[in-house]
Chain A
Amino acid sequence: MNMKKFKRRLQRITPGGRQLVIGVPFLWLFLFFMLPFFIVLKISFAEADVAIPPYTEIYSYVEQKIQLLLNLSNYVMLSEDELYIAAYLGSLKMALVSTVLCLLIGYPMAYAIATARKEMQTVLILLIMMPTWTAILIRVYAWMGILSNNGLLNGFLMTMGWIDEPLQILNTNLAVYIGVVYSYLPFMILPLYANLVKHDNSLLEAASDLGSSTFNSFWKITIPLSKNGIIAGCMLVFIPVVGEFVIPELLGGPETLMIGKVLWQEFFNNRDWPVASALAVVMLAILIVPIILFNRSQAKEMEGKE
């Protein structure tokens, strides 16, 4: 009797299959992806301290009073120090220019793949996909050997007699652009291809029957139809590049100011966790609109709606 009651009560509080299926990934992502941002936000209001962990607590409980002490000096410093502002601007410029470059190079490539024979498409897409699985570190490292002063590129140019002394490419912004476009090009091509391959050819045929030039129908039909692919590709390049660390660190020089590198230095070299947190919060604030845009396009894609 009692047992039955207990069982029924237990059934009421134990989650059903549906809740479990939703709950497990939700809880994981909430705990290890969302909650940490709030901790970053909290620590960005703390002060650096020589302690373990190296920051002060922002609230205290003394004599039945809870005191919340928000220290805004990190943010004030970010807005006043030209280094940080320059780093944010540098990152945004780097991300913007490389996104445009990736789009200009990637669109024709994705188009060529989408219009190739079916068997060829699988092989080509695999060739594009493989580098995305390979460490960015290694692909960037490959460029270090090519671009350095006594590297292959300069050696080649000098043997051909085109230049007399080596060009300084490694440790400049140019090298970072090359590295970023090189590393992120596949991330532009994949969503573009996924979009372009679904296009209905009959629209283009109809346009050409009605006398539209190839370029005109490309511009007025193919490009507008591939809008979602363009958005997804651009966001997949732009957002991570803003926070990129490895490429500017290895290929860039003193003139390369990027926020990911500054955050890394604040955290690992200066051990100033509150400033690093404030840098992350501001970066996230800048990126929140692009991230929401990306999530929207991804959600549409996942539900299979157009």
Chain B
Amino acid sequence: MKRFSFSSLMLVLGLLFIYLPMLILVIYSFNASKLVTVWGGWSIKWYVGLLDNTQLMGSVVRSLEIACYTAVAAVILGTLAAFVLTRITHFKGRTLFGGLVTAPLVMPEVITGLSLLLLFVAMAQMIGWPQERGIITIWIAHTTFCAAYVAVVVSARLRELDLSIEEAAMDLGARPWKVFFLITIPMIAPSLGAGGMMSFALSLDDLVLASFVSGPGSTTLPMEVFSAVRLGVKPEINAVASLILLAVSLMTFLVWYFSRRAEEHRKRAIQQAIDESAADSWKQPDIRRAPAPASV
């Protein structure tokens, strides 16, 4: 029993360690005092001040735009990659393919950033594209590493999917692409949503890759924040940081909410199917859930 209490204590302390700094940051963004360490009462003037900062607002719009494109492309690319990795088990270069999909997860960003920039420079010399670096090059960089995250999330879902439904559709004469769009995609939709949100957030957050592959005049929000942060703590930055935190936690909550709803819906559907086919119980779809671990 001792171990349980120790690990629970660590969990509480760990969560405090993770969330306390962020909480402090948010509280101090409402500090009326210009001195970041002295509390001068509540105020929202730093938030209001942000609206007048056109340069910052421009970078916010640019970052959001890139994040949208990235989310769409990363979901398509990542889903294809996940599909290949889980369903097509034998083809030439499969090991290489698997490596290419998962390596971006851990590759230090300075290496990926530098190598992509050198690629773009070399391409500009050889084929004249991209003439100038900006939104498109940042989008390519972000898509490449976000697709890896999507592939991990989606492949986890694809693995636990009941293959018999797809097989049944194929047996009934549906073509593979039709099965994919009409059966597989709807079944993995929640994880596609989660992957998309994740890519959106990751793209919105990225500093290092964007710094390498962006050109003049295409500063993103993290780059703007970074150049301000380098000079020290400032109340305006506290406000920007709090807004980003708010946006990300909202997105996390939405992902959790929708995936939970989808899960409940699925469970209810399975339960219904079980009830309906109670007579021939051997046909039941098995409920692919681990038995609930014994509670503490």
Contacts and interface: CB of A to CB of B under 8 A. Distances in A.
Interface string A109-137: 10111111110001010111111011111
B56 interface: no
Interface residues of B, number: 102
B104 interface: yes
Given A17-B177, A138-B225, A304-B159, A263 B102 contact: no
Contact of A35 (B119, B237, B238, B292): B119
Interface stretch (B9-17, B45-53, B265-273): B9-17
Given A25-B147, A218-B3, A133 B100 contact: no
Given A33-B100, A244-B108, A250-B230, A105 B118 contact: no
A189 B10 CA distance: 12
Given A236-B106, A260-B110, A116 B201 contact: no
Q: In terms of DSSP, what is the predominant structure of the interface of chain A?
A: helix
Interface residues of A, number: 101
Contacts of B28: 145
Nearest to B98: A299
B80 to A, nearest CB: 5
A303 B105 contact: no
Contacts of A115: 4, 7, 293-296
Contacts of A105: 10, 14
Given A112-B10, A141-B25, A133 B248 contact: yes
A134 B245 contact: yes
Interface in B36-87: 36-37, 77, 80-86
A201 interface: yes
Nearest to A196: B293
Interface string A14-25: 000110011011
Give the most central of B118, B208, B225: most A CB within 10 Å: B118
A39 B233 contact: no
A273 B100 CA distance: 25
Nearest to A249: B230
A263 B110 contact: yes
A103 interface: no
Given A21-B84, A26-B97, A32-B140, A145 B10 contact: no
B190 interface: no
Interface string A137-170: 1110111111010111001000000000000000
B152 to A, nearest CB: 8
Interface of B: 1-4, 6-8, 10-11, 14-15, 17-19, 21-22, 24-25, 28, 36-37, 77, 80-86, 88-89, 91, 93, 95, 97-112, 114-116, 118-119, 121-122, 125, 140-141, 143-144, 147, 152, 155, 159, 176-177, 198, 201-202, 204-208, 211-212, 222, 225-226, 229-230, 232-233, 237-238, 241, 244-245, 248-249, 251-252, 256, 260, 290, 292-296
